[in-house]
Amino acid sequence: MKSTNQYLKPLSLKVNENLEIGGCDTVELVEKFGTPLYVVDEYTIRSICRDYKEAFKAYENVNMMYASKALCTMATSKLLASEGFGFDVVSAGEIYTVYKAGVDMSKVLFNGNNKSYDELSLAIELGVGRISADNFFELALLNEVAKAQNKTIDILLRITPGIECHTHKYIQTGHLDSKFGFDLTQVDEAVELIKNDYTNLKLHGLHAHIGSQIFETSIYGDEIEILVKEIARLGLNEINIGGGIGVKYTENDCPPSVYDVAEIIINRLNECIKKYNIEPPALFIEPGRSIISTAGVTLYTVGSSKQVPNGRKYVAVDGGMSDNIRPAMYGAEYTVQVANKPDVQNLQKVTIAGRFCESGDILIKDVELPELEEGDILCVYNTGAYNYSMASNYNRVPKPAMVLVNDSLSHVIVARETLDDLISHDRISQ
């Protein structure tokens, strides 16, 4: 069955005279809220959440944990909590955001390869349900924090399962030479230390994450095999398999169906439960990108253009690498449509450039679009994940606003930054 992450555009998208998302006319959204503008479609988010829940319902003890780093705002956290999701968080900032959004903190897992004493203290104070310990240094630190608060902390061990997946090297995490997690050969030593020395820590299971934007489904089966084999040996009862399921940025991308991935995971899990003769463990899944990417688009206004003699035509928009670093960082590709001219007529090949002072600030290379004029609105698809969450103030450009749309209503969920916001932390020494 097809799942929401296999669509390129938000599910509520309609092509009228202008593009419409969540029942809202995109040109009207721009008139009201300006550009660049992140638009997030609630219907699409709820739809992928239901896909995940439906796909995994054949396994009794399954817990969905949204990986907040893909997009972390109070409104989206509240929405995902209402779908029954827990949260994977990686910093005090993400912990604080989900806490302020009213999330049940017992359904939050704190993960990361260099969490500070203060971050760990905050996590424990606010009652985070699990902490994934990444390395020996952190085990010692965690035990210290737990002792200081006179608490026992529920933990997992993050491991590197030694699985190579075919994705960009910056987003591979499960191979052996990685900065994340314990090598499998170090697990026994960690377990002994917890048992004998770190008595304020209680180990429940193992955690792994093999990469991101994954299209290959079989590696999830390999991951399950490694994790179950290890927890069986160690007498643990929880596995967290991370996230990574891919999305469709361009027509050439064929991400897997969540239903197919779930089938592989559950079948292999059931096989391994028999093979290693254990009670069915609690299964945790941490999708980030596949939950939020398809729901998001970015709207830009077209400004200047430049025809290189005998070369490319560049058309510049009012955003770029500060609101979407992925093309510059990973060579990521995106799909664009003209929001106020969705018909495809008089196509011309152009390159969409950002407004930032870097030659690499190109959003989309060599794309066929109707002839563009100043003031046209471009809609770039699949910008829900790792766009706002990686946004910067490069060139002292304020970050865009974000609106959530649904049922013909739009709500600002992140206000546009102002010039005063930009200087609000500056101090002039007297």
Instruction: Give me the active site residues, please.
Output: 357
Assess contact for 326 and 386: CB atoms under 8 A.
Answer: yes
Compute the least distance from the CB of residue 363 to ligand PLP, in Å: 21
Say how many residues touch ligand PLP, by CB under 6 A.
15
Alpha carbon of 274 to those of 61, 251, 271, 277: distances in Å? 16, 41, 5, 5
* Binding piece for ligand PLP, criterion CB under 6 A, among 64-72, 123-131, 249-257, 299-307: 64-72
How many residues in the chain?
A: 430
Q: Which of 107, 130, 209, 248 binds ligand PLP (CB under 6 A)?
A: 209
Contact code string over 218-257 relative to ligand PLP, x by CB under 6 A: ------------------------xxx-------------
Compute the least distance from the CB of residue 142 to ligand PLP, in Å: 17
Indicate the residue among 256 and 342 with the shorter CB distance to ligand PLP.
256
Dist. CA 392–CA 396, nearest whole Å: 9
* Binding piece for ligand PLP, criterion CB under 6 A, among 66-74, 191-199, 227-235, 370-378: 66-74
Compute the least distance from the CB of residue 347 to ligand PLP, in Å: 33
Q: Is 212 in the site for ligand PLP (CB under 6 A)?
A: yes
Contacts of ligand PLP in 156-195 (CB under 6 A): none
Compute the least distance from the CB of residue 132 to ligand PLP, in Å: 7
Q: Is 10 in the site for ligand PLP (CB under 6 A)?
A: no
Assess contact for 143 and 200: CB atoms under 8 A.
Answer: yes
Q: SS3 string of 358-389?
A: CCCCEEEEEEEEECCCCCCEEEEECCCCCCHH
Residue in the structure block whose two tokens are 């299971």: 205
Helix or strand (DSSP H, E) at 282: strand 282-285
Compute the least distance from the CB of residue 196 to ligand PLP, in Å: 28
Contacts of 77 (CB under 8 A, 6+ apart): 68, 87, 97, 98, 101, 103
Q: Which of 51, 88, 94, 119 binds ligand PLP (CB under 6 A)?
A: 88
Q: How many CB atoms lie within 10 A of CB 331?
A: 10
Name the phi and psi angles at 309, rounded to 5. -55, 125
Q: Which of 25, 286, 318, 376 binds ligand PLP (CB under 6 A)?
A: 286
DSSP state of 58: T
Indicate the residue among 168 and 312 with the shorter CB distance to ligand PLP.
168
Dist. CA 183–CA 201, nearest whole Å: 20
Q: Is 91 in the site for ligand PLP (CB under 6 A)?
A: no
Compute the least distance from the CB of residue 245 to ligand PLP, in Å: 6
Name the phi and psi angles at 328, rounded to 5. -70, -35
Assess contact for 315 and 92: CB atoms under 8 A.
Answer: no
Q: Is 5 in the site for ligand PLP (CB under 6 A)?
A: no
Compute the least distance from the CB of residue 385 to ligand PLP, in Å: 6
Q: Which of 69, 107, 268, 326 binds ligand PLP (CB under 6 A)?
A: 69
Contacts of ligand PLP in 101-160 (CB under 6 A): 111
Please return the burial class of 309, using the count of CB atoms within 10 Å of its CB with bins 0-12, 13-18 and 19+.
Answer: exposed
Indicate the residue among 168 and 365 with the shorter CB distance to ligand PLP.
168
- Positive or negative torsion for Cα 334, 335, 338, 339: negative
Indicate the residue among 206 and 317 with the shorter CB distance to ligand PLP.
206
Q: Is 67 in the site for ligand PLP (CB under 6 A)?
A: yes
Dist. CA 10–CA 327, nearest whole Å: 21
- Chain residues binding ligand PLP by CB under 6 A are 67, 69-70, 88, 111, 209, 212, 242-244, 286-290
